[in-house]
Structure 1
């Protein structure tokens, strides 16, 4: 998969996204229901993510995980475990969790799927404009579950699908920083 890495900044220690999600989108008219239609060209990671999330092409989770492993994983020092961002929308299968599982299998680490939990906020973050507004909606929505057994401290790789304002990742990082078993926090996003 062709990528165009971008470093992403927030309250985590180091983070990267594989590529821009949408390269261009052209309005082509309204459909029979009056909804606008677009001809959209996405990057390879963006298209893989679109197919995974909106077309239920679950094979894309492995493709994306391989791209993260090949292009981003080596930039992080001594990752000890993988954590997916908690989902915003209830689905039978969660795309980000599937990517995190595949990545964990590739790099031979444990994937802790329940360290972070997210309460329903009642609003889709993509419909909220500013980072400050998103942060207010997320305040207290992400909580910690002590899922790691034993003593010690591990560096974590937090996996997310789309980096926009960074509000969700920053909320998750803030919560992870309260967990004495977590050291450095790294972020890998599929697209921005």
Structure 2
């Protein structure tokens, strides 16, 4: 798979998105119910993520995890710098959480412990469409840190989509309250758009 890694600057030690989610999105009108329709061209990893998250093609979790591991080991050279992997809590309840599947596979392939419940959302409310300043206030009160590290170590946070960075910023601030957390690395499957 062809990837175009994007460096993500933030309150973390170092972070990357593997590529943009979409390459092009063109408005083509409305459907029979008045909803806007778009002709979307996805990046390769974006197409896999779209099929995993929105079309329940769980085989794509294997494909995405292989690309994540390949990037971590061969390009980022991060494997020996991390001691554990945390999955970012999902914004929606699903019986099968797509990114939990990816995180489990990455942990297995890198032989690193993972936590799927290090953080949890307190409310199911979607905050994606709010202005950034309102997101920060709401988000800080909607996430709970459920665990602490039992010994010193560096963490890799894995997320599916990067838009404003509010989620990752908040999680990093919560992690930094833990005296055992050393470095925090961030890996996101895709960045939402080139405009962000």
Q: Report the TM-score when normalising by structure 1.
A: 0.92
Instruction: Say which is worse superposed, 25-34 or 38-47, in terms of deviation.
Output: 25-34
Q: What's the offset of the Cα at 1:47?
A: 0.8
Distance 2:132 2:72 in 1: 25
Matches within 5 A, 1:1-192: 1-73=1-73, 74-76=76-78, 78-120=81-123, 122=125, 124-128=126-130, 130-146=131-147, 148=149, 151-192=150-191
Distance 2:121 2:173 in 1: 13
Is contact 1:114-1:147 (8 Å) kept?
no
Secondary structure of the residue that 1:161 maps to in structure 2? strand
Q: What's the offset of the Cα at 1:121?
A: 5.5
Q: What's the offset of the Cα at 1:147?
A: 5.9
Q: CA RMSD in A?
A: 1.5
Is contact 1:142-1:175 (8 Å) kept?
no
Is contact 2:93-2:124 (8 Å) kept?
no
Is contact 2:92-2:124 (8 Å) kept?
no
Is contact 1:79-1:155 (8 Å) kept?
yes
Q: Report the TM-score when normalising by structure 2.
A: 0.90
Gaps of 5+ in 2: 192-196
